[in-house]
Amino acid sequence: MVEIATIATFLVAATASLFMAWAIGAGSSGSTPFAPAVGANAISVMRAGFFVGILGFAGAVLQGANVSEAVGTELIGGVTLSPMAATIALVIAAALVAIGVFAGYPIATAFTVTGAVIGVGLAMGGDPAWPKYTEITVLWVLTPFVGGGLAYAIARTLRAEPIGEEYLIVALAALVGVLIANIEFAILGPPGGGASIAQASSGPLPGSEFAGAAAVTALIAAAWALVLGFDLRNGTERGERHFLLILGGLVAFSAGGSQVGLAIGPLIPLSGDVGLPLIALLFGGGVGLLLGSWTGAPRMIKAISQDYSSLGPRRSIAALIPSFIIAQTAVLFGIPVSFNEIIVSSIIGSGYAAAGSGGGVSARKMGYTVLAWVLSLAGSIIISFAGFLALEAVLF
């Protein structure tokens, strides 16, 4: 029999989690995926907000488990987050993200949530999880270089005269097909795990499991390349815009799979007390992302798409492909990652590929953004640590 007090404390934490999910949907996961497409005039701001909400919800349910479990159980050792600690972490992180949304600056959600969970965990007497911190730090540090570098290389290649642009776009479509065939989905794997389309489809094929997965991957890549190739025959610019919208949708899906864990992760240690399965938490977090995307994302979409760089279809494609790759890497390894960092870095890389200029990138805006990232991490650790100790002193 679950005690009323336990249910009450869980509901308080769940309310904070829903607010956090809304803030994420209105901020990073709702604004960044379609920002390059909006900047390239491939879709309107309001339509982008609508579609990113639907796709983010799907990603949260189908791919959100890894990051959620990492945030909830792997950031602090030796202790389990209490209802009060989870509530404090979620409220502080959500408040910082909401401030960024209404101020028009992209606060890094992954930094605030990670810092808040670490802060309350340390205040409870927990031990730092240094191996996990190393993984997170490596990804966070490499993201600007990998994302920006790949975006720059793709954008420059698309500008190359000796190679036909249509052929390059088809090759990029095949690459995206390879990635889609091999990303994991919870519904395709065994209980507690996941599997890719290639893995799930390779069983009936003759030969080894690797050979079957490779064959499925090749078929999916060829199908993507063929479909986009036919679309490009009706007009290069038209085909590029369609490809851009598809990429935006894939990144939005990936955003849901990664960002929902930042909202519901702290609830995982508490869910067992009330008998709530992880899929229910993922569904609730996905609804929060959906509502945030529909109600608050358009403001940030405009800020990122117009304030950071004046993008065309080619440079937008160059920005979204590495964003999709990095996002799915984070989902696979269960690492909380900032979509603001991913997209902004990719936009800068594709922007600098413009001949003879910085591609319209605002150095002043980028300076404020980096400062916001650093302060959000440090500030959330300090504020949550002090907030937990202060509230504990008052109540106990």
Top-confidence residue, 41 or 336 = 336
Listed range (169-178, 234-243, 259-268) with the worst mean pLDDT? 234-243
Nearest CA among 317, 42, 40 for reference residue 171: 317
The DSSP-derived string for 313-367 is HHHHHHHHHHHHHHHHHHHHHT----HHHHHHHHHHHHHHTSTTS-TT--HHHHH
- Strand ranges, E, within the chain: 76-77, 127-128, 184-185, 195-196
Listed range (2-6, 229-233, 234-238) with the worst mean pLDDT? 2-6
Residue 225 has pLDDT above 90, yes or no: yes
Residue 45 has pLDDT above 50, yes or no: yes
Q: Within a 13 Å sphere around the CA of 331, how many CA atoms are in the beta-carbon half?
A: 33
Residue labelled with tokens 């290639």 = 198
What's the confidence (pLDDT) of residue 119?
95
Nearest CA among 263, 216, 246 for reference residue 18: 263
Question: 337-367: per-residue pLDDT in tens?
Answer: 888 788 878 878 887 776 545 555 566 767 7
pTM of the model: 0.87
Listed range (114-128, 186-200, 255-269) with the worst mean pLDDT? 186-200
What's the confidence (pLDDT) of residue 309?
47
As a whole-number percent, the residues of the chain with pLDDT over 90 amount to 35
Residue 303 has pLDDT above 80, yes or no: no
Nearest CA among 90, 140, 143 for reference residue 112: 90
Confidence of residue 308 (pLDDT cuts 50, 70, 90): very low
Q: Nearest-5° angle of CA 104, CA 14, CA 50? A: 45
Residues 96-121, mean pLDDT to the nearest whole number = 80
Residue 92 has pLDDT above 50, yes or no: yes
What's the confidence (pLDDT) of residue 311?
65
Residue 3 has pLDDT above 80, yes or no: no
Confidence of residue 305 (pLDDT cuts 50, 70, 90): low
